[in-house]
Structure formats: C-alpha cells, structure tokens
Amino acid sequence: MNPLFLLIAEQNTPINYLPIVLQLIIAGGVVLLMLVGSYLLGPKRNTKDKLINFESGIPSIGNARQPMAIKYFLVAILFVLFDVEVIFFYPYAINFKFLGQQGFVEVLLFVAFFLCGFIYIVKKGALEWED
C-alpha cells in the first residue's frame, strides 16, 4: 500500500476528534451551568417599575407608531450609497500604476456616473430640508 494513504488513514480516525468533542461538551456545560446558576441565584422581584420598558431614562409618552418624516431615511440611505461608492476609489489608489491609462479612463467613467447620480438627487431636492 501507499505510505501516504496509510498516513492519511491514520490521521482521520475518530479518536483524533475527541479533543474537539470534549471542548464542545465543556463549553456547553459551562453555558448551561451559567444559565441555570443565574436563574437559581438571581433576584426574582417582578415589580411594576421593573417590568416597564426602559427608554434611556425618558418616560414614554404617546404612541410609538407615529409617522416619521421620510427625509431622515432618504438622507441616511443616500449617505450609505455614496459612502460605499467612495470605497471603490481605494483599490484604484493602490493600483493606479498597474491599471495605467485604461484604468484611469474607467475611473473617470465611474466618477461621471457618480456625478450623474449626485446631480439627479440634487435636482430632485432630496437634500433640501423642510421645516
């Protein structure tokens, strides 16, 4: 038989997985012990003050389902969109010598598309705040 086959066959025996199984059992036991211990030893005072929702120390007033202005979400989404687009400049900055003139033209096209999108959202008034 091939000695390499015997070496591989010896390495893949179930006894080699014993340390991993023991570690998983010990980790599961520690988690279970902590959960049961905190349940048995922890305080169990369910008062009215303890059961109400905590909102940064500010008492909750009114309905939580009131409509919000869409402007906040629109600006947040636009920020993420343009922020992710700017991330694409970093690989170009690192490889600009390797990419050469063709890479430069492609980056100019990318910036042109970027500016088209920016001009579109400015003309639509997406960045104008209304009072």
Better pLDDT: 3 or 80? 80
**Would you state the pLDDT for residue 72?**
79
The domains of the chain, with CATH numbers, are 65-131 (1.20.58.1610)
- Contact indicator for 118, 82 with CB cutoff of 8 Å: yes
> What is the reported pTM?
0.43
The secondary structure of residue 55, as a DSSP letter, is -
Closest CA to 79 of 129, 127, 130: 127
Three-class DSSP category at 112: helix
